[in-house]
Structure 1
Amino acid sequence: MNSINIYENKTLKLQNVIVRRLDLESDDQNLFDSEINKISTYIQTHGANQIGPLIQYSKVELDENNEPDINMQFMLQANNFIHNVEQPYRMESLLRVKNCLYARYNGPDDKLKFAYDKLGVYAFENDIELDGCNYTIYVDRNEEEETMVADVFMPVKE
């Protein structure tokens, strides 16, 4: 059954997070899958194991020419902190994002945007100002039915 449930004042807490900022200038359609596999392999080759699902961070800001600058990052958690991480990766021992609007999305893969839309409408209706970024956690995926469960966190502007 399709659903989007909204909650206020939630905290996103991630530990031992390896982060990779994506270069969206590339035209490679397989960029996302390729980068996720590279991050996972990097974790394994440095003596750790991936725990939990993929986390995608995104934020759109305007650059000096008033053009949109999209900051997209993939994040994976590891069971251990990896020291001496090389570029293009960085390692965060703890990432805590407080006071977020949160949505649990259950539905078709291609309709996930409705969770972002619903959070935006909820914020508008309740006079909540969001800071403009979001974290999407891809909790589960049913390949046969092409459905997914995803958690979306949108921090509230302080």
Structure 2
Amino acid sequence: MLEINHAVENFKLPSTGNKEFSLSDCIGRNVIIYFYPKDDTPGCTTEGQDFRDNWHLFTEMNCIIVGVSRDSIKSHESFKVKMQFPFELLSDEDEEVCNLFSVMKMKNMYGKQVRGIERSTFVVDTQGILIKEWRGVKVPGHVQEVLDFINTFNSNSYQY
């Protein structure tokens, strides 16, 4: 289980743009990792659009944004193009990274119990340390919360 103020184990996942994402390649940048249940669904689309619309503010604050779900790269590529996301989407079909971040939960879908991703966001600092997490995210206002946290973190030169 990941803990705040502890290093996040390096992981690699296939990424849109025919790339592979590796957390260790991001040392020197803050990394915002947002987990979402499924491409091209209403909540996930809105959340992605909110990150897209604020992407320039995050990049000005030395942040990389990546979205993670269990969807295939093919699905991610279509979703990314359709929504014009300027950031990469990572495919975790084997749930390795989902399990690392403990985001797999039992959820109610139309009266049935199903296993899926609990919408969650994590911030990993420039040294690979987990500094913030949001679990059970509600989409409205969430991206602004993340932006406010990064702003405060950067201006206070956060101490562990």
Question: Is the shorter-chain TM-score for this pair beyond 0.5, marking a shared fold?
Answer: no
Higher helix fraction (1 or 2): 2
TM-score (norm 2): 0.28
Larger radius of gyration: 1
Higher strand fraction (1 or 2): 1
